[in-house]
Amino acid sequence: MARHGGGRGWYGKVVGAALGVTVLAVGASVWTAQAESVGAASPRATASATPGAVRPVDVTIAHASDAGARGVNITIDDGPDPAWTPQVLDLLREYGVKATFCVTGTQAQAHPDLVKDVVAAGHRLCDHTVSHDTAMDRKSEAYQSREILDAERMIIEASGGVRPMYYRAPGGAFTPYSRKLAASHGMRPLGWNVDTKDFERPGADAIVATVERELSNGPTLLFHDAGGDRSQTVEALRRVLPWLRDQGYSFGFPVR
């Protein structure tokens, strides 16, 4: 869930020099369709990654959509959860929307079938750390490294070999070190522009109103599919997704 009000308080943390880290190669299968196409069908396995095959990405925090100026990014945090993730997946499928799922290592390890369902539907994965520690920006670099890299490994194992393409710090608790580390593993740091505050369960009407009011802030919307009762999120998405399309928006993924 978000830690900073409106999802904006962490912007000031992205400045400063970052410590260099060595790229750690992880052998795993990758899915071409997931990485290359917003509207692709179920991903297809390609050859296993070879040592050194992971390409570093930009260390800056991404907000823009690869769908262009009228694109929006639906991002779903904290899962997967056996009660709510299937309902979110059903809605996304109903409206033909691809989303980015920011999963925690513990949830991925507990529910690997759901991680595979996310991938099979053409959605992208994001590393949301092992334990969702919103104070990790105040912890040691060794701790940050364990949280990010252990979660990456757990997600790859749960997904059957699919790498997370982004890294979202819990509560926006990014540091120059964590951004550099994630980027060196091919995971673009991922922010948000619209914090729906759905984790507070303010009611579906309030969640929808927040999206309508704050969409001008930017294209990346933050929702949650775990961490408690997410029935309000499901109802809000049922209304938000067609509304966005009616307003002339298209659905994309965060830029890499």
- What whole-number distance in Å separates Cα of residue 82 and Cα of residue 92? 16
Residue pair 255/66 in contact (Cβ under 8 Å)? The answer is yes
* Kind plus residue range of the DSSP H or E element containing 118: helix 112-120
Three-state DSSP class for 254? strand
Of 77, 137, 195, 225, the active-site residue reads 77
Would residue 77 show up in a list of annotated catalytic residues for this protein? yes
Per-residue DSSP letter, 136: G
Angle between helices 112-120 and 141-159 (to 10 degrees): 70
Q: 132 an active-site residue?
A: no
Instruction: Give the CA diameter of the chain.
Output: 49
Q: How does DSSP assign 191-238, residue by residue? A: --SEE--GGG---HHHHHHHHHHHGGG-SEEEEESSSS--HHHHHHHH
> Which one from 58, 224, 225, 246 is the annotated catalytic residue?
224
Tokens at 243, concatenated: 């509304």
Residues identified as active-site: 77, 224
